[in-house]
Amino acid sequence: MSHKSSQGRRPDAQATEVLVQRAAAGGLPMHLASLPASRAAQWEWLPYMGDLAPMAQVDNRFIAAPTAEIPVRVYRPLKAATAADEAQPALVAFHGGCWVVGNIDISERPHRDLAAATGCVVIAVNYQKAPEHPFPVPLDDCLAGYEWVRANATDLGGTDGAFRGASSVGRGDRYGG
């Protein structure tokens, strides 16, 4: 297996422009900024994310987690299964943010892109954040979201209580800090 080094490589022109604009805007890196400033700064990335992929349907719901009702968002892609008895695969998505920042609104485009690119029904789980909700609350919320998807497979597009392949896939991202 060969490994290509990124040493000496530069970002493309569009990425370089975004980095220049972000540097000019000022502010501290996330790990040095206050929590409110870090949370507010997440919204500043939305203009750089581009257009939202069209979906056949987007549903907002609340589900029971161990300590609260938490929001989930269900994205049904345009190229979803066409036959009524054809199960669709599912992908459970947990937004990035190091358990302290981010939400399903900020991650709207990546979640739509996942659904459009994979043909999966994407279920985004909006877990509670630390420090207001310390460990293990955020992790428990994610597990509750995954278990809810498994328990509600038929309603979400699966058949016989399960999605195609009899399993769901979890997906998370981390934007550093």
- Please report whether residue 6 resides in a domain: no
Same structural domain for residues 80 and 144? yes
Q: Are residues 60 and 41 in the same domain?
A: no
Asked if residue 8 is part of any domain, the answer here is no
In a domain, 68, yes or no: yes
Question: 147 with 81, same domain?
Answer: yes
Residue 4 in any domain: the answer is: no
SS3 state at 49 = coil
Hey, what are 85's tokens? 């008895």
| Residue at 72 is within a domain | yes
CA–CA distance, 104 with 113 (Å, rounded to integer): 13
Q: Is 62 helix (H, G, I), strand (E, B) or coil?
A: strand
Q: How far apart are CA 35 and CA 38, in angstroms?
A: 5
93 and 72 housed in the same domain: yes
Domain co-membership, 65 together with 103 = yes
Q: Identify whether residues 27 and 63 lie together within a single domain.
A: no
157 with 88, same domain? yes
Q: What is the pLDDT along the chain (177 residues), one digit of tens a residue?
A: 455 555 667 777 877 787 787 778 777 777 788 888 888 888 887 877 788 999 999 999 999 999 999 999 999 999 755 555 567 788 899 988 888 888 999 999 999 999 999 888 999 999 999 999 999 999 999 999 999 998 998 788 764 444 543 333 444 454 433
Q: Are residues 108 and 162 in the same domain?
A: yes
The reply to whether 90 falls in a domain is yes
In a domain, 104, yes or no: yes
Domain count, the chain: 2
157 and 163 in contact (C-beta within 8 Å)? Answer: yes
Residue 119: CA atoms inside 13 Å, Cβ hemisphere, count? 10
* pLDDT, position 58: 96
**Helix extents (H) in the chain:** 13-25, 35-42, 108-118, 137-151, 153-156
Q: Is 34 helix (H, G, I), strand (E, B) or coil?
A: coil
Alpha-carbon gap, residue 107 to 41, rounded angstroms? 14
Contact 104, 73 (CB under 8 A): yes
The domain in which residue 93 lies consists of 55-172
Which of 12, 171, 11 is closest to 89 using CA atoms?
171
In a domain, 177, yes or no: no
